[in-house]
Amino acid sequence: MTQTVELPIWLFILIMLFAAVTAASHFLFPSVRWFFRRRMEKAVARLNERLERPIEPFKLARRYDMIQRLIYQPDVAQAVTEHAAETGVPENVAFEEAKRYAREIVPSFSASAYFGFAIRLARFLSRALYRVRLVHFDEDGINAIPKDATVVFVMNHRSNMDYVLVTYLAAQRSALAYAVGEWARVWPLSRLIKAMGAYFIRRKSRNALYRKVLAAYVRLATQGGVSQAMFPEGGLSLDGAPQQPKLGLLKYITDTYEPGGRDVVFVPVALNYDRVLEDRILINAQASGGRRFDAKISVVAGFFFKQIWLRIRGKYHKFGYAAVSFGTPLSLSEFSNTYEGELAKPLARELMERINGVVPVLPAPMVAAIILASDAPISRSAIETAYDGWMQKLAREHIHLPRGDLSYATEAGLRILEERRVILRHNGTFEANPERRDILSFYANSIAHLLKE
């Protein structure tokens, strides 16, 4: 027992490292985690004092605890048993598969990452790229939402900038939990997105076990009062026009809604842009007949470096206006009283009507629609007259008129389209560039439903 044992120095160092890690994990790490969690809780308490809708405890729960709670839900356990029987695998293997799905879905929300980094980045990007405008805001309706209700912002999907823009504009109200697709499951972007409270969804998955785990998470988040943001259309609009709604997430919410319980209030949000950054990518995907987006990292990086170089040279111009409108909220409890049976389909139709009804009318889409409707080259004065005519017909809350000046709005729309060679000027008249007519249609389509009405 008292004999000397000789060890190589590398083995001695390795043993000491293992001992240090073991000691830290048992004594130091729990204390450190407790110290930082206490500081986080105090910071969140101060933050909740200025937020209109405080961050719910569900959102602040430890990720490990949330995963455990999710996979032990009765319906998930039943789905594990059924999946094992259908596929012929042991139940413990099916259970591990469910746990893997839970780890993929459950976010790791960080209030400091969201309010300390994400909000600042969203504000910087929004203001750097666009002139951001809030066109319509149903203040009375939104302020009347009960404090104990779960708020779900439902939006049209025009661009990946939608996430950034709404995060920035909703910063004083609450922290939003987005449902994001497979495109964001790339390291390190995935870590940042999860820290912001977003959860990943596999839009095309037909795996019954996966969908049961996802449905359980949406149910828990909704019952926990988490403010959410989702796109009923499911994906980006490829032609610029409003799309038919998908029922996935809405069905998860309506199927588990219990009358008399916590109400769910949907807030319609409509976005529009003078220029969508990825418009050509979307149009090319539409032309190819699928949803494969040819967006290489080198192209995206090149685009941003080009904008930085233009800014250094003093030749940078913002991409026109980006506008957001908040429509009249819809209470699920009130809506369910008017329908019997399946709620998801009528709810989706009603929400899309409310979203489409408040889509902002901006200079570039309006000028694009006027030129596209003209059978012959059209003069600037004729464009301005047509612009004025539509302003008299449309509800004023739809329209953002820069500086309150019709002439300036017309000029702004023409300049944006002409700089991109979407329209051509000949002897004081304007017409669509035949080679880029699809781009002109893309912007006109964003408000075509309003002009038809």
Rg for the chain, CA atoms, rounded: 26
Least confident of 68-72, 77-81, 132-136, 187-191: 187-191
* pLDDT, position 321: 95
Nearest Cα to Cα of residue 447 among 375, 380, 387, 376 = 387
105-277+319-357 against 363-452: fold identical: no
Instruction: Give me the architecture of the 363-452 domain, per CATH.
Output: Orthogonal Bundle (1.10)
DSSP 94-140: HHHHHHHHHHHHS----HHIIIIIIHHHHHHHHHHH-EEEEEEE-HH
Does residue 421 carry a pLDDT above 90? Answer: yes
Average pLDDT of 43-49?
Answer: 58
Does residue 30 carry a pLDDT above 60? Answer: no
Give me the residue spans of the domains in the chain: 8-50, 105-277+319-357, 363-452
pLDDT digits (tens, 9 = 90+) for 108-119: 877 777 777 788
Q: How much is the pTM?
A: 0.84
Average pLDDT of 41-45?
Answer: 57
Least confident of 30-44, 143-157, 158-172: 30-44
Average pLDDT of 86-92?
Answer: 91
* pLDDT, position 63: 83
Query: Comparing 190 with 179, which gets the higher pLDDT?
Result: 179
Show the tokens assigned to 160: 């990946």
Does residue 21 carry a pLDDT above 90? Answer: no
pLDDT band at 37 (very low <50, low <70, confident <90, very high): low
Separation CA 206–CA 200 (nearest Å): 15
How many Cα neighbours within 13 Å face the side chain of 182? 7
CATH superfamily, domain at 105-277+319-357: Glycerol-3-phosphate (1)-acyltransferase (3.40.1130.10)
Mean pLDDT of all residues belonging to the chain: 84
Task: Look at strands 150-155 and 264-273 and give their pairing.
Answer: parallel
* pLDDT, position 2: 67
H helix and E strand count, the chain = 21, 11
- The partner residues of 150 in beta bridges, in order of sequence, read 264
Question: How many angstroms separate the Cα of 153 from the Cα of each of 32, 142, 174, 273, 325?
Answer: 37, 11, 11, 19, 12
pLDDT band at 407 (very low <50, low <70, confident <90, very high): very high
